[in-house]
Structure 1
Amino acid sequence: MLTALSIRDVVLIEALDLEFQRGLDVLTGETGAGKSILLDALGLALGARGETSLVRHGAAQAVVTATFDPPEGPLAAALAENGIEAEPGEPLLIRRIVKADGGSRGFVNDQPASAALLRELAPMLVEIHGQHDDRGLLNPRGHRALLDAYGRVEPEATAKAWATYRDAQAALAAANDEIEAAARDREWLEHAVAELTRLAPEPGEEDTLAEKRRSMQRAEKIAGEMAAIEEHLGGSDGALAQLRQAARVLERIAEDHAALGEALAAIDRAVIEAATVEEQIAAASADLAFDPRAQEEDEARLFELRGMARKHRVQPDDLAALAAELSERLERLEAGEDRVAILETRVAAARADYDAAAATLSARRRAAAGRLDEVVADELAPLKLDAARFRTVVADASPEQWGPGGKDRVEFEIATNPGAPFAPLAKIASGGELSRFILALKVALAEEGGAATMIFDEIDRGVGGAVASAIGERLARLAEHTQLLVVTHSPQVAARGAEHLLIAKSSDGTVTRTGVRVLGEDERREEIARMLSGATVTDEARAQAVRLLETA
């Protein structure tokens, strides 16, 4: 709901701060007082084109700030989706600045916002209906949702069936694409699978072969040195044999001198250490045994693995996974026709389910359309549209328009004269008739959603008496469910207002200004009397104004 509007330097408005209440707020004033300026200012905040002509003469810029109730539901979601922060429970502030030298800026909760974003938010905040309305109820794109809301028609089952159908179609298309692509590459795929199967790569195999190759290369390099060491240590003439011979001689004479005993102990230790050396050398020789044939085989395997990896542009460790993937692709290709047949069956079943759900939805919509037509028809005669006819067309949409909301195209149509063909709402020539048709529709759809604030701009133009009273009664009824701002020239409508704002123009001889003020009880009676009698307010007009206010 719109709670406040602040206007600075817009055309004839120098500074204006307004607060609005829930219910029916009426705005009156003499012709040319500036009622359209007020709506232009609000439109500016809602993303209308920022014309420099809106800036008051002599001012640097025009500023309009509209304040709304804290955002909820789809509005809150739209703000979050566009990165606009909104504190829970805090009002929504929309500000628009237009500079006199060109250019404009928009803000939502003091965060920069484009005019496109403001226009996106506008339908969730305010509906404006007037002589030249080209949005809201005139746009057929929203008629189906309005009918569904009116008839309590829930499209969830159809949406679910549509999602299943689309998923089945996507799976079938993907399978066909995969089979087609695989068929083009079948010869290569068969060759690659055979080649990889023969190679039988294993994860980690490259590192194992590379390490064995390095070990064999090291063994080849030190084979001579290892042989020389073994020759020096082992054999009948080796160092270990000579140490043992020396030990045997010392054993015979060790008791003859203490030093000889110590020498024998040292030789025994040397023999033990030398034996350990011999064992370690033997072990190393076994580990580093060089087998030229084995080295050649390992190198050939390693080079083949690396060559295959380069061929397929993967790492050697990924060859095993690639082999499995290509084998699976080949298997899918070979089993493709069976799989496609299964998917085609699923698509057909899903399509049948969607057709059934959409048919049920269409039947419910047609039933709701009949009820809506009757309710709107009852509203037309009191609004001096008794010769007009209204109908809700529920027709088959083209297949490309099918979707989660079913297969229906919904549009509101009217015929204004007997025998005249039905036509879309937007084709109605008379602005007054159009506004009254919109009012009849809005009354019929009163509890079925829409923006929290609605504005009717001179909906009563060209009518009076009983018709104006009927318009006022219906506006008051509609205001029980939403906030209404009504720009009116009709005293019967003005008398229905919960709050009455007077728009007036003043001049000091050099500067003309437009102002707005809330009328008290006596002022309101005088304004309605002026609307009844014209320039000269008579006692009879004042008495009639009192009667209108008492019966409102």
Structure 2
Amino acid sequence: MLRSLVIHDMLIIDRLELDFQPGLNVLTGETGAGKSILLDSLGFVLGWRGRAELVRAGAEQGEVLAEFALPAGHAAHRVLEEAGLPGGDELILRRVNTRDGRKTAWVNDRRCSGEVLRALSEVLVELHGQHDDRGLLNPRGHRALLDDFANAGAALAEVRAAWSGRAKARKALEKARADIEALRAEEEFLRHAVAELDGLSPEPGEDEKLDQERRRMQAGERLRDDIGKAMEALSSGDAGAERFAGDAMRWLEGAAGEVEGLLDAPIAALEQALNALGEAADGVMRAIEALEFEPHALEACEERLFEIRALARKHGVQPDDLAGFADELRTRLGALEQGDADLAELETAAKAADAAYDAAALRLSDLRKNEAGRLDAAVMAELAPLKMERAVFTTEVAEGVAGPEGRDEVSFTVATNPGAPSGPLAKIASGGELSRFLLALKVSLSAPEAGITMIFDEIDRGVGGATADAVGRRLRRLADGAQVLVVTHSPQVAAQGAHHWRVEKRVENEMTLSTVVPLDPSERVDEIARMISGDMISDEARAAAEKLMG
């Protein structure tokens, strides 16, 4: 709900503060007093595209500030969150226009773009009038209006879910087809590579093992003679170290009894040395045995090592990853062989998803067609009191392109008289007729969205008497539990208002200025009497005004 509007230096307004209320808010005044300027200023702060020159003559910049109340759950909270702007239970919009045309906007004291303002305006304000292409005259919104009237939320949710399921099933099918085509393109390579890898059958860690074995055999050829000589030096042969140590041991033991323990330590050391020499000889023997290999073993080892490394380079993997790579290729081959069966399942799933969407879309179409007739009847019932009982309103539901909200295109068409050609609202109806069509349609649609401020700009133009009274009563009905602002020249409409402001024009220091004055009950009587009789307000006009006000 719009709480207040503050305007500085815009067109012929120097400073103006307005506090609006729930219910029907009426703005009246003589032609040219500045009523349209209020709407221009509100449109400016909401980011609407309008007049290029808005700054008051002699001022450096113009500014408009609008404050809205935001109940919990209001759609504006989502817009603020998506834009990264602070929220709360109130929303303050401020926009400045400098004389050189630069425009700057703030939302709750945070800078923002005109796009954000326009996104907020979509959920804050509805403007209805003879030149309105943002609301009921916009054919792109007619389907949503019919769905609201039909309470089609559950059917819409079913169609959206079916559309999503249909899209997922088709995407899975297309991906599977593309994957299989890619596999078929490399089938020959896969089969050859798997056969080659299976023929070699490399194992993880085999490359390092073969490399170590090759190095050992290469070293064995080089070192065998040296290790053999070492074995001879350690052995117990005639010239071996073990023989000399043993001889020394026996000589010392023969002399030990005569020197009273003097040789005990050398004898013990030689005993340890003999043991160590034995262990060394055993170790060298084992080394000789380990270095022994078949004459062609080195050649075979090198050949397999080189084959493994060549295959790894060929496929761009590490030698230890060849076994895993072979498993991967076998999996791809298996997928190719399983592909036809998988495709058949996915095609069945896609057909089922198509059928589910078709069924849900058909149910929604049937609902829309049924409710279209009910909406037509409701609008026609509203047109009779508005002196348009011969007009024909039709909600057309035609098949269009399938989408997440069904495959229907909805448009509101009118014929001003029976037998006359029908067409879009904006093209067929004249100014006064259009206003009444829009009002009848708005009244017939579902209850106003919570928190929306509805503005009707001279929607009563071209009507008077009982018709104008019918317009006023319908505006008051719309304002019940909501907020409606109406700019009007009709006393019958003004009399239905819960709150009334008069727009006035005055001249100060040879400068024309516009102001807005809130009216108390007695002032309302005078204003409505002026609207009835003109500048000269008679007692009869006051009496007529009081009668209109009830």
Task: Identify whether the pair has TM-score above 0.5, normalized to the shorter chain.
Answer: yes
**Which residue number in structure 2 is paired with residue 367 of structure 1?**
370
Q: TM-score of the superposition, structure 1-length normalised?
A: 0.90
Q: Quote the offset at 1:52 in angstroms.
A: 4.9
**Which residue number in structure 1 is paired with residue 251 of structure 2?**
249
**Which residue number in structure 2 is paired with residue 238 of structure 1?**
240
| Conserved? CA contact 1:127–1:451, under 8 Å | no
Q: Quote the offset at 1:21 in angstroms.
A: 1.6
1:305–1:50 distance in 2 versus 1, CA, 3 Å: farther
Does the residue aligned with 2:412 lie in a helix, a strand or coil?
strand
Aligned ranges 1:401-416 → 2 under 5 Å: 401-416=401-416
Distance, in Å, in 2 between the alignment partners of 1:532 and 1:219 is 124
Q: Quote the offset at 1:133 in angstroms.
A: 0.5
**Which residue number in structure 1 is paired with residue 144 of structure 2?**
145
Q: Quote the offset at 1:186 in angstroms.
A: 2.7
Q: Quote the offset at 1:445 in angstroms.
A: 1.3
| Conserved? CA contact 2:450–2:482, under 8 Å | no
Q: Which amino acid in structure 1 is aligned with residue 91 of structure 2?
A: L
Distance, in Å, in 2 between the alignment partners of 1:470 and 1:491 is 12
Q: Quote the offset at 1:107 in angstroms.
A: 2.7
**Which residue number in structure 2 is paired with residue 165 of structure 1?**
166
**Which residue number in structure 1 is paired with residue 175 of structure 2?**
174
Q: Judge which range, 73-82 or 487-496, deviates more.
A: 73-82
1:306–1:472 distance in 2 versus 1, CA, 3 Å: farther
**Which residue number in structure 2 is paired with residue 93 of structure 1?**
92
Unaligned regions of 5+ residues in structure 1, if any? none
Deviations 1:448-489 (A, max 9, x none): 638611111010111111111111111111111421111111
Q: Is 1:351 aligned with 2:354?
A: yes
Distance, in Å, in 2 between the alignment partners of 1:29 and 1:389 is 34
Aligned ranges 1:82-161 → 2 under 5 Å: 82=83, 84-87=84-87, 89-153=88-152, 154=154, 155-161=156-162
Q: Quote the offset at 1:126 in angstroms.
A: 0.9
Unaligned regions of 5+ residues in structure 2, if any? none
Distance, in Å, in 2 between the alignment partners of 1:467 and 1:30 is 21
Distance, in Å, in 1 between the alignment partners of 2:509 and 2:118 is 39
Q: Quote the offset at 1:515 in angstroms.
A: 2.0
| Conserved? CA contact 1:255–1:261, under 8 Å | no
Deviations 1:29-88 (A, max 9, x none): 221111111111111222223765112223332222222223735432333233x2334x
Q: TM-score of the superposition, structure 2-length normalised?
A: 0.90
**Which residue number in structure 2 is paired with residue 23 of structure 1?**
23
Q: Which amino acid in structure 1 is aligned with residue 370 of structure 2?
A: A
Q: Is 1:423 aligned with 2:423?
A: yes
1:112–1:219 distance in 2 versus 1, CA, 3 Å: farther
Q: Quote the offset at 1:511 in angstroms.
A: 2.6
1:222–1:384 distance in 2 versus 1, CA, 3 Å: farther
Q: Quote the offset at 1:304 in angstroms.
A: 3.6
Distance, in Å, in 2 between the alignment partners of 1:213 and 1:72 is 77
1:519–1:251 distance in 2 versus 1, CA, 3 Å: farther
Q: Quote the offset at 1:533 in angstroms.
A: 1.7
Deviations 1:237-256 (A, max 9, x none): 33344323322322222232
Distance, in Å, in 1 between the alignment partners of 2:171 and 2:222 is 63
Does the residue aligned with 1:263 lie in a helix, a strand or coil?
helix
Q: Quote the offset at 1:432 in angstroms.
A: 2.4
Among 383, 387, 392, the alignment partner of 1:384 is 387
Among 258, 269, 274, the alignment partner of 1:271 is 274
The percentage of aligned residue pairs carrying the same residue is 50
Distance, in Å, in 2 between the alignment partners of 1:202 and 1:42 is 78
| Conserved? CA contact 2:249–2:267, under 8 Å | yes
Does the residue aligned with 1:395 lie in a helix, a strand or coil?
strand
Q: Quote the offset at 1:530 in angstroms.
A: 1.7
Q: Quote the offset at 1:179 in angstroms.
A: 2.6
